[in-house]
């Protein structure tokens, strides 16, 4: 289960960049990425499942999700000529480190796992503000703009 939860980040990346590429009309490229993912997944499953059964399938799933997320990111980066500053990567690294540590240490709390999960989520949300990835002003503008619709 923990291994498959690692796929969540990769799936989230594919939702973000897949939506961006779809909105831009790059469906053919997305279909190529998806087909490539299927072929790679079958190949990796063919290699790993005989040796590690369900664990091999989980590793195959994780690796292919990361692979397709990376392909979609690279396509969006090239098509949209995205530029990421060193400051952005540093903020992302700080956020990721805090979120991972919050999740790890929340498991040690003496509460029910749901409470621990909520605590880790709140700490991660606060980390997104602390690191500058989310700005409260921009978030409130977005929320108020949706209310006016």
Q: pLDDT averaged over consecutive 10-residue blocks of the chain (149 residues)? A: 81 95 96 97 97 95 96 96 94 94 93 94 94 88 73
Query: In this structure, are 1 and 72 located in the same domain?
Result: yes
Picking from 82, 109, 124, the residue at the C-terminal end of a domain is 82
pLDDT score at 146? 63
Tell me, what's the pLDDT at 148? 66
Question: Tokens 């956020």, residue?
Answer: 95
- Tell whether 124 and 61 lie within a shared domain: no
Please give the tally of structural domains in the chain.
2
- Asked whether residue 62 falls in the same domain as residue 111, the answer is no
Predicted TM-score (pTM) of the model is: 0.78
Whole-Å CA distances, 115 to 99, 111, 127, 129, 131: 16, 6, 18, 21, 24
Q: What is the pLDDT of residue 1?
A: 65
For residues 99 and 62, membership in a common domain is answered with no
Give the angle subtended at the CA of 94 by the CAs of 109 and 66, to the nearest 5°: 90
24 is in which domain, residue-wise? 1-82
- The pLDDT score that the predictor gives to residue 123 is 96
Residues 6+ apart with CB under 8 A from 17: 69, 72, 73, 75, 76
């Amino acid at each position: 289960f923990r291994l498959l939860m690692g796929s969540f980040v990769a799936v989230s990346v594919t939702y973000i960049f897949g939506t961006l590429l779809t909105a831009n009309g790059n469906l053919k490229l997305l279909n190529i990425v998806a087909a490539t993912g299927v072929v790679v997944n079958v190949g990796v499953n063919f290699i790993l499942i005989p040796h590690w059964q369900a664990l091999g399938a989980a590793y195959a799933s994780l690796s292919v999700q990361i692979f397709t997320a990376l392909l979609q990111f690279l396509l969006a980066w090239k098509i949209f000529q995205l530029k990421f500053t060193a400051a952005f990567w540093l903020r992302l690294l700080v956020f990721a480190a805090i979120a991972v540590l919050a999740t790890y240490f929340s498991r040690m709390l003496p509460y029910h796992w749901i409470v621990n999960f909520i605590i880790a989520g709140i700490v991660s949300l606060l980390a997104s503000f602390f690191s500058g990835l989310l700005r409260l002003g921009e978030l409130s503008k977005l929320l108020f703009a949706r209310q006016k619709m």
